[in-house]
């Protein structure tokens, strides 16, 4: 039996033969009716699809938006960080404590713990072997250490990176005012406390006195600043040496107990070739009135204290630490807390840096508009 090409089979198969005429007409009518409605049905279907798609996209975009915000604001992984400072009573110790508290206060994912140390050279070693994350190192020690030129140690400390200039640290050689000692050369045969063994103070004292031919002519005592000041006041030493921002608490302590005199060091440095051989040292003056009984300016020399990090400290951690410390409020807090921090500025950020910068520091200082020379990258 032939079929009308426009007919539709029912669920039960072909229609009975007796109903073929009427049914065929009815079927044709229904088909025509469906055909007439197809455009509207298609349009409705497409509109429904579009609505579903738009609704779906709206949900997805909303969720994606929430996810982006959540990712941006989600707590970062907690970082427990060690910051190596220096001897009790020293400026290293103060700066380590202050920077640690500022960073921890600013970023809740930071837990920065300051720790005491022997000073610059100890910090250099700890940063190099990765046992601490941050530390303060004198520019001279960082430079010599990287090149394997520290006294008695040819190891190259290549895993240490600079972050920023902190302050200039002038050498301060303290004697009793009534001792009759007015020149470094007069310390031959005397007892001099020069700082903890391995500290930047002790190393700078050895370099300076060696250039003057005095290192083997004086009795050296390796003591931290506070202990050195206490022993000096007891008469157990004739002088003590400090390499630190001023005013230094140990010198303040000594001056409060008896009249003191700071010896001028600059002229001896110039005459001995000290500056020529060690260009990371530079002349510096300690203003009159810095300490009790100090009526005149004292010409001396300084090293530069650098904030440093281990090469293994994460870039984001370094960047955030610098962001906290060198923010407008951070700099105000540092300057208000210690006079030595008043030289900390964005403009001075790379002053005295002698070793390569950490990638996090490069990113930070470039964003501040500072030029980074190739030798520091």
What is the DSSP annotation of 10-22?
BTTBSPPGGGHHH
Report, as an integer, the average pLDDT of 344-367.
96
Q: Is the pLDDT of residue 30 over 70?
A: no
Q: Is the pLDDT of residue 354 over 70?
A: yes
Q: Is the pLDDT of residue 289 over 90?
A: yes
The pLDDT of residue 75 is: 57
Closest C-alpha to 239, from 201, 280, 292, 207: 201
Report, as an integer, the average pLDDT of 154-166.
97
332: Cα separation from own chain's centroid: 17
The pLDDT of residue 339 is: 87
The pLDDT of residue 118 is: 85
Domains along the chain with CATH numbers:
79-376 (3.40.190.10)
Closest C-alpha to 212, from 173, 267, 260, 171: 267
Phi, psi of 147 (to 5 degrees): -100, 10
Alpha helices in 85-176 (DSSP H): 91-106, 120-128, 139-146
Report, as an integer, the average pLDDT of 72-92.
78
Q: Is the pLDDT of residue 15 over 50?
A: no
> pLDDT band at residue 288, thresholds of 50, 70 and 90?
very high
> pLDDT band at residue 151, thresholds of 50, 70 and 90?
confident
The pLDDT of residue 31 is: 38
> pLDDT band at residue 45, thresholds of 50, 70 and 90?
very low
Burial class from Cβ neighbours inside 10 Å (0-12, 13-18, 19+) for residue 371 reads exposed
pTM of the full structure: 0.71
Phi, psi of 137 (to 5 degrees): -135, 140
């Amino acid at each position: 039996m032939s079929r009308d090409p426009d007919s539709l089979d029912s669920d039960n198969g072909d229609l009975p033969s007796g109903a073929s005429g009427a049914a065929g007409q009815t079927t044709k009518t229904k088909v025509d009716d469906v055909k007439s409605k197809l455009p509207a049905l298609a349009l409705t279907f497409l509109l429904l699809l579009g609505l579903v798609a738009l609704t779906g996209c709206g949900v997805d975009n909303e969720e994606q938006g929430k996810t982006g915000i959540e990712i941006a604001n989600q707590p970062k992984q907690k970082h427990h960080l060690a910051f190596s400072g220096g001897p009790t009573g020293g400026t290293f110790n103060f700066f380590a404590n202050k920077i640690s508290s500022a960073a921890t206060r600013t970023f809740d994912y930071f837990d920065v713990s300051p720790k005491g140390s022997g000073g610059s050279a100890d910090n250099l070693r700890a940063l190099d072997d990765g046992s601490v994350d941050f530390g303060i190192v004198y520019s001279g020690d960082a430079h010599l250490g990287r090149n394997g030129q520290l006294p008695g140690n040819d190891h190259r400390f290549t895993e240490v990176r600079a972050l920023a200039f902190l302050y200039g640290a002038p050498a301060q050689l303290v004697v009793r005012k009534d001792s009759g000692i007015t020149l470094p050369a007069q310390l031959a045969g005397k007892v001099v406390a020069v700082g903890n063994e391995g500290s930047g103070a002790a190393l700078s004292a050895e370099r300076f006195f060696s250039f003057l031919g005095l290192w083997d002519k004086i009795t050296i005592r390796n003591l931290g600043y506070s202990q050195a000041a206490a022993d000096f006041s007891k008469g157990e030493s004739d002088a003590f040496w400090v390499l630190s921002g001023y005013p230094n608490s140990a010198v303040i302590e000594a001056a409060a107990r008896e009249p003191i005199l700071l010896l001028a060091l600059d002229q001896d440095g110039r005459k001995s070739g000290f500056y020529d051989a060690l260009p990371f040292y530079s002349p510096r003056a300690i203003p009159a009135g810095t300490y009790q009984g100090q009526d005149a300016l004292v010409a001396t020399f300084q090293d530069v204290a650098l904030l440093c990090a281990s090469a293994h400290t994460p870039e984001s951690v370094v960047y955030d630490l610098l962001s906290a410390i060198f923010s407008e409020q951070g700099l105000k807090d540092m300057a208000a807390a210690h006079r030595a921090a008043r030289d900390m500025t964005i403009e001075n950020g790379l002053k005295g840096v002698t070793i390569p910068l950490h990638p996090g520091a490069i990113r930070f200082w470039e964003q501040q508009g500072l030029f980074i020379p190739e030798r520091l990258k």
